[in-house]
Amino acid sequence: MATTGNLFILSAPSGAGKSSLISALLKQESSRLMQVSVSHTTRQPRPGEVDGQHYHFVTVDQFKHQISKHEFYEYAEVFDNFYGTSETAIDEQLAKGIDVFLDIDWQGAQQVRMKKPDVTTIFISPPSKKELASRLRSRGQDSEEIIESRMSQAKAECSHYQEFDYIIVNDDFEQALTDLTTIVNNQRLKRSQQVENHQLLFKDLLAND
């Protein structure tokens, strides 16, 4: 039987570089080993975003219906839109031994921590407020009003940094990627995981022959 996968949460204010870090991490890995959970959201797709790949884009009515059917592992309202993680998608992947990443906000992180205390939580911080503002502007996808609202949301997100197991300051991208890879490998090398991975080895090493 496959070892159960590890569950990771990555939270960050938008503009901290979380999505780029996750994509770079996934490029190093086989999808058999690691996947990012695709959330449901009621927000409009941005240019280039694909339904079912970046998000499952749904209406507010559909989302509320899913809430009433208890389909979400966690959900939250972020920037006036709903975002949620589907329960079955995660459980199936974890059961297959796949490590699952949740790219969710601090509210979602709090809910998942209550349900699954062994989740590994990582907070990605921008190197400075100035750099954060400049990264949000250079995306060119959102209006100035949205950028300002995201800057104040960023402060709210950052105020929860003490709730996370790990903090990565994304100043130098390659270093941040190395840090993230180290955290993932650290989790995979824990005794509880290794005992499951190498049951036969330890049985053999301890056999009286």
- The residues of the shown chain that bind ligand 5GP, judged by CB under 6 A, are 14, 39, 43, 74, 76, 78, 83-85, 103-105, 107-108
Shortest distance, position 88 Cβ to ligand 5GP, whole Å = 14
Q: Give dist(CA 57, CA 43) in Å, integer.
A: 7
Nearest-CB residue for ligand 5GP: 108
Q: Give dist(CA 167, CA 161) in Å, integer.
A: 8
Residue 74 or 99: the one with the smaller Cβ distance to ligand 5GP is 74
Residue 83 or 164: the one with the smaller Cβ distance to ligand 5GP is 83
What phi-psi label fits residue 140: left (phi over 0), alpha (psi between -120 and 50 degrees) or beta? left
Residue 62 or 107: the one with the smaller Cβ distance to ligand 5GP is 107
Residue 107 or 197: the one with the smaller Cβ distance to ligand 5GP is 107
Residue 99 or 103: the one with the smaller Cβ distance to ligand 5GP is 103
Q: Give dist(CA 131, CA 148) in Å, integer.
A: 14
Residue 154 or 183: the one with the smaller Cβ distance to ligand 5GP is 154
Residue the block writes with tokens 């709903």 = 82
Yes or no: say if 98 and 105 are a contact pair by the CB < 8 Å rule. Answer: no
Shortest distance, position 113 Cβ to ligand 5GP, whole Å = 12
**Is 177 buried (19+), middle (13-18) or exposed (0-12) by CB count in 10 A?**
buried
Q: How far is CA 196 from CA 5, 95, 118, 173, in A?
A: 11, 13, 16, 33
Shortest distance, position 67 Cβ to ligand 5GP, whole Å = 12
Yes or no: say if 67 and 86 are a contact pair by the CB < 8 Å rule. Answer: no
Shortest distance, position 31 Cβ to ligand 5GP, whole Å = 19
Shortest distance, position 169 Cβ to ligand 5GP, whole Å = 17
Shortest distance, position 84 Cβ to ligand 5GP, whole Å = 5
CA torsion through residues 173, 175, 178, 180, sign: negative
